[in-house]
Every structure is written in C-alpha cells, then in structure tokens.
Amino acid sequence: MEPIIHQFPPYRKDAAPSAHDDHGHEHHEPNFIQKYIFSTDHKIIGIQYGLTALCFLLFGFFLMMMMRWQIAHPGNPVPVIGPLLEKVLGHPAANGVISPDLYNSLGAMHGTIMVFLGIVPLAFAAFGNYVVPLMIGAVDMAFPRVNMASYQAYFLGGLVMFVSFFIPGGAAQAGWTSYSPLATTIPTHGQLFWIIGMVLLITSSLMGAINFIATIIQLRAPGMTWMRLPWFVWTQFVTAFLLLLAFPPLEAACIMQFMDNVAHTSFFLPTGLAVSGTLAHISGGGSPLLWQHLFWFLGHPEVYVLILPAMGIVCEILANNTRKPIWGYKSLVYSVLAIGFLSFIVWAHHMYLTGMGTKISTFFQATTMIISIPSVIILTCLFISLWGGSIRFNTPMLFVLAFLPMFGIGGLTGLPLGFNVSDVHLHDTYYIIAHFHYIVAPGTIFALFAGIYYWFPKMTGRMMNEFWGRAHFWGSFIFMNMVFQPMFAQGMAGMLRRMSNGGANYSAAVNARNGAEVIGGLSPFIMSLNTWILWGAICLGIVQIPFIINLFWSIKHGEKIKNDNPWDSTTLEWQTPTPPPHGNFLHPLRVYRGPYEYSVPGHATDFTPQNEPPENVPAPTLSPAR
C-alpha cells in the first residue's frame, strides 16, 4: 500500500516519491516466495518468527490442557480429542487415556516448546527483528542472510520437536531439564529428537544473537548514542549476550548426552548404575551433576531471556501511555546490565538439594539475593514512572499495567526459593510452578500481547479492535490468576510437580488405604483445587479466541490509522511510512535527544520525536530526576 503521510518530518509530502529511488527492489518486484518465505527483510522475518511462535504457543497451550485434564481426572479418557489422540499417538494414549509416559512427554515438551519455541522466538526474535532496527534508525539487520538462516534453523528445530510426538514411544520424557541418567535410560528415541531439535534451536539463537549485537553496535543512526537508545533496545542487547554466551555450554552438554545415548559413552552415567534390574553395560565414571551444572548454566540466564525483552516492551508502552519520561532511565540501563552479568553466577540455586556444602550454597544464595535487587530497581522505576503521568488506558496499556504486579508476584515468590533452607520445603512443588508461571505467563505473555496490540498498526496500518482487545485482557487477567494462584497453596501443602496423576497417590484418601492414618498426604481441599484450575485453564483458552480472530480480522478490516504515528510516540519506529518499505526510512535521519521526551514543557505537542530537529524544540530541556 502507498505510505500514509504524516505532516511532521522526517519526510514531507513532496519527499514521498523519493521512496521509489531508495526502494531497492523497485524494478524487479520480488514474487511471493521471495517476498514472504525467503525474505531477508528484517520486518518480514520478524513477522515470520511472530506467527510461528504464536502457533507454538498455542500448541504448548494444548499440551498443557491435556496435562491439566489428566491432573484433575487421572485415568479418565480425554474428552473430545481422546479417540483422536489414540489414533495419532497409539499405545501411549491407549483408549484415550493419557499414560504416565505420555504425561511425561507432554510435560517435557510443554516446557521445551513454551520456552524455546514460543516465548524466546516471540519476545526476542520477532519483536527484536521487527522493532529494533526501526528503533535505532537502521535500514536492516547487519547480516540479513544470517537473519534468514536463523529463522530457518528455528523452523527446522521446531519441526524436529513436533515430529518427535509421532515416532514410536513418543517425544522426550525426562522433563525440559532432561536430567541424566533418566534421559539416557528411557528406551525410546524421543530424547534424541529433543537433543537434535535443541542443537538446531541453539544454532538459530546464536545466529540471531550475533546479528542483534552487531546491528545495535554498528547500525545506530547518527546521533543515536548509547544513552539515547530506547530501553527496549538495551534489554534486547543484553538478552542477545545471554543467548550468545549461555547457550553454547548447553550445546556441549547436548553433544555429550547425544554421545551417551548413541555411542554408549558415560559422561553423565556413574559407575555401578543398575537400571531396571540389570547393571547397565557402560564404562561408568561419569557424573549426573555435570549435566545439571551445564544445563542450569544455560537455564538461569535463559529465564532472564524470557523476561528482559518483556520488560523492555513494558517500558516503551508505559512511557507512551503515561505521556511522560520514564523515571530513572539510567538506573534501568545499569540494572539490566547488572542482571546480565549476575545471571551467569546464580545457576546452582536450582541445585540446592543435590548435596551442596555450606560454602558453595552460601555463595549462590548470596548471588541469588543480589540479582533480585536490580529487578526490584527496574520494577520500582516503572512504578514510579506512573507518578505525575496522564495515563491512557488502552488495550496495550492494560496488559502492561497488569504485567507489573504479576511479575511482582512471580518475582517475590522467587525469594523463598532463593534461600536453600526454605527451598527444602518448596523444591519441586507447585510453588515453583506458580513462581515462574506468574513471571512467564501473566508476566511475559501479557507483555507480548501488549506489544502485539501496540505495534500492530505499524505492521499493517490498521488498529486492532479495542473492544475485543479489552475483553481479551480482562478474560486473560482473571483466568490466569484463577489458574496459578491456587498453585501456591498446593505447593505449600507439598504437592509435587510432574505428577502424572496430580498427586492422587499422595492424597489423604489414598493414604487411608495403607492402614494407619498417614501424615503428609494432600488434603481433599488441596486436591479439589485441581478441578478449579482445570476450569480456569479452559476459560483461559476460550478468551484467547477473540484475540486470534481480532488479530487476523484487523489485518484487512481494522480501523485505518490517521497517520504514521497513531500513538503519538517519540521513538524512531514511528517515523517511517506504514508499513515501512524495504530499507525502512525514506530519508537518512539524525537523532537529537533521548527516547522518552514526552510532555516537554513549552513544546507544541506532548511528544518530541527523537529525530525532530532542535530548531522546532524550545529551550534546553531539563532532564528528569536520576
């Protein structure tokens, strides 16, 4: 579509035609395949990532639904899709019932898919690809072809993971953490597929990370100094470094586990292992803890990969809808850097109960507590930014506002886990499930929803429907809490995770069967919560339908936007035609100020774009506190 013109620079009406000279592919219009499948345009690739990731998110959601059904009604055939399951999965889903093996596959793959195929590609790759180059005033990513390759590797990895469900024996069953020896002793081939899939995904992430860092360092527009970067770019920058440096050790670990499974080495298999009766015929001498160290060395930075981009999105939308500068931009930058460094030295807080001595555990407890401080600072800055604002409650903003307390709950509940003494009681219970889901689901996912509603106009030139947006928000908000809040109670009561029957065997009723009244079982109330959660999850799924429809419907029928900058934003991605052409900007532009110059006293509009020439702007603007 021809660009919609917006009166204020960077480009004026008369300038519009020049789009054509700049537009590289003008003469030989690329056909559909070149344009949308094998594109090297960061915006197309971003959208490819986004849609694929959303599909995986939905898939991960369905896996989880099956688990929740099994938890609430152990041993009962799955309604509706039960027969289908048996057809496609065969024995593991015999007559529609989810067998323990299948449950373990579902759990492992739900975790893997949500983390590595859903959230990371959406938060980092999709938004990063689409928004970051625009925000820093770049024409594209530094290495467009690498960018395409990275998406293809991701797609392939996802395919491998997906296919693994349909091989005999089904997908990996050792949890997303794939602890050895279990991962090696399970006879089926699911784990191999998991490893191969992971290596592909890691490759993809590495290519992506390199590309992002190079782009942010090299392709910043003139005047876009480091301290003028929108905070979202900072979070993406740090995230890229986390991926770059934390993933390779897991790759090494995957290679070793691959050798264990295929070449019968025993990197992770100790001497004298007696699996199911017979002594395993392996040389032994390996160490199960080695895997855990390598995994969590990735695992912890990975969780910050899940949250940092979300925080970045929140920051942008918050500033835009409070119509005032973010409070404490500098401390936000330093905090995110601090988190980046610290996240490499806290990994063993996932291993408190593997027989850790006082010295080591003290070290990791200390680092864990220290790393919580920058998070506190970040949330504090965001909270304080509300003060004195003129808050607009549109759909993106609603999701952003919900993010704050939701992340707060998730983060705060990380603290009791951070002390190994209290972790003794909470380790591997639903308290942990609730802890991190509060961060990734009503936290990260909400931020991603917000991002989608916020940047959709830039991608399509149309708004998403506001009413259904709000409906989507309130539904998601209520049911997310309905699902995850009870898990804290269950965890406190000692309900364990990864229970293919929702802990039925541990419930008080069952214990009665074992003669004397047994202490430590789960009360009927705690068990009854499982049904409650199931309904919460079902409703949570239903309220996503308006979103999905809204998303696709609005592409063609959404309300057209008046100009290129519908939210009256200051950052550069709004200073382009809509949608931005290949090459993004019609004119080389220059940046004169920080990213959040809203409500500058004396300025005509209540927003001052980063690239608006100083002559249009009144006297030196005083910078906000901190």
Q: Which of residues 275-304 bind ligand HEA (CB under 6 A)?
A: 303-304
Q: Which stretch, 57-65, 391-399, 445-453, 568-576, contacts other proteins (CB under 8 A)?
A: 391-399
Residue 163 and residue 131 in contact, taking contact as beta carbons nearer than 8 Å = no
Looking at residue 221, what DSSP letter applies?
Answer: P
What is the distance between the alpha carbons of residues 357 and 363, in angstroms, rounded to a whole number? 10
What is the distance between the alpha carbons of residues 593 and 149, in angstroms, rounded to a whole number? 35
Residue 568 binds other proteins, judged by CB under 8 A: no
Which residues, 23 to 52, sit near other proteins by CB under 8 A?
A: 24
Residue 458 binds Cu ion, judged by CB under 5 A: no
Looking at residue 613, what DSSP letter applies?
Answer: -
Q: Which stretch, 153-161, 233-241, 429-437, 587-595, contacts ligand HEA (CB under 6 A)?
A: 429-437
Residue 205 and residue 247 in contact, taking contact as beta carbons nearer than 8 Å = yes
Give one DSSP letter per residue of 144-204, joined into a string. HHHHHHHHHHHHHHHHHHHHGGGSTT-S--STTTT-TTHHHH--SSHHHHHHHHHHHHHHH
Cis amide linkage into residue 10, ω under 30° from 0: yes
95 binding partner (options Cu ion, ligand HEA, other proteins, none; Cβ < 5 to 8 Å by kind): none
Which residues, 129 to 158, sit near ligand HEA by CB under 6 A?
A: none
Of 385, 451, 442, the residue nearest 411 (C-alpha): 442
Which residues, 216 to 275, sit near Cu ion by CB under 5 A?
A: none
Residues in the chain, overall count: 626
Burial class (CB in 10 A: 0-12, 13-18, 19+), 622: exposed
Residue 453 binds ligand HEA, judged by CB under 6 A: no
Which residues, 219 to 248, sit near ligand HEA by CB under 6 A?
A: none
CA 600 to chain CA centroid, Å, is 34
Interface residue with other proteins, options 152, 380, 485, 531 (CB under 8 A)? 380
Which residues, 374 to 413, sit near ligand HEA by CB under 6 A?
A: 375-376, 379, 405, 408-409, 411-412
Interface residue with other proteins, options 498, 512, 528, 604 (CB under 8 A)? 498
203 binding partner (options Cu ion, ligand HEA, other proteins, none; Cβ < 5 to 8 Å by kind): none
Site string (396-435) toward other proteins, x via CB under 8 A = -----x--xx--xx--xx-xx--xxxx-xxxxxx------
Residue 308 and residue 378 in contact, taking contact as beta carbons nearer than 8 Å = no
Quote the Cα angle for 435-350-480, to 5°. 15
> What would the two tokens of residue 211 be?
């590309």
What is the distance between the alpha carbons of residues 587 and 585, in angstroms, rounded to a whole number? 5
What is the distance between the alpha carbons of residues 55 and 121, in angstroms, rounded to a whole number? 11
Residue 435 binds Cu ion, judged by CB under 5 A: no
> What would the two tokens of residue 301 be?
């930075």
544 binding partner (options other proteins, Cu ion, ligand HEA, none; Cβ < 5 to 8 Å by kind): ligand HEA
What is the distance between the alpha carbons of residues 35 and 19, in angstroms, rounded to a whole number? 18
Residue 441 binds ligand HEA, judged by CB under 6 A: yes
Interface residue with ligand HEA, options 15, 509, 548, 549 (CB under 6 A)? 548
Residue 102 and residue 170 in contact, taking contact as beta carbons nearer than 8 Å = yes
Burial class (CB in 10 A: 0-12, 13-18, 19+), 14: exposed
Which residues, 293 to 322, sit near Cu ion by CB under 5 A?
A: 300
What is the distance between the alpha carbons of residues 436 and 236, in angstroms, rounded to a whole number? 21
Which residues, 102 to 131, sit near ligand HEA by CB under 6 A?
A: 107-108, 110-111, 114-115, 119
Which residues, 296 to 325, sit near other proteins by CB under 8 A?
A: 297, 322-325
CA 236 to chain CA centroid, Å, is 12
Q: Which stretch, 273-281, 299-307, 444-452, 454-462, contacts other proteins (CB under 8 A)?
A: 273-281
Taking the complex as a whole, the smallest distance from the CB of residue 44 to other proteins amounts, in Å, to 16
Taking the complex as a whole, the smallest distance from the CB of residue 218 to other proteins amounts, in Å, to 5
Taking the complex as a whole, the smallest distance from the CB of residue 534 to ligand HEA amounts, in Å, to 9
Residue 547 binds ligand HEA, judged by CB under 6 A: yes
User: Which H helix or E strand runs over 55?
Assistant: helix 42-72
Taking the complex as a whole, the smallest distance from the CB of residue 440 to ligand HEA amounts, in Å, to 4
Taking the complex as a whole, the smallest distance from the CB of residue 242 to other proteins amounts, in Å, to 11
Residue 485 binds other proteins, judged by CB under 8 A: no
Nearer to Cu ion, 438 or 479 (CB): 438
Nearer to other proteins, 27 or 556 (CB): 27
Interface residue with other proteins, options 94, 192, 345, 386 (CB under 8 A)? 386
Taking the complex as a whole, the smallest distance from the CB of residue 464 to other proteins amounts, in Å, to 20
Interface residue with other proteins, options 34, 76, 362, 528 (CB under 8 A)? 362
Burial class (CB in 10 A: 0-12, 13-18, 19+), 419: middle
> What would the two tokens of residue 572 be?
């550069």
Which residues of the shown chain bind ligand HEA in the complex (CB under 6 A)? 54-55, 57-58, 61, 64, 67-68, 107-108, 110-111, 114-115, 119, 175-177, 303-304, 306-307, 349-350, 368, 371-372, 375-376, 379, 405, 408-409, 411-412, 414-415, 417-418, 423, 427, 432-433, 435-437, 439-441, 445, 483, 497-499, 537, 540, 544, 547-548, 551
Contact residues toward Cu ion (CB under 5 A) are: 300
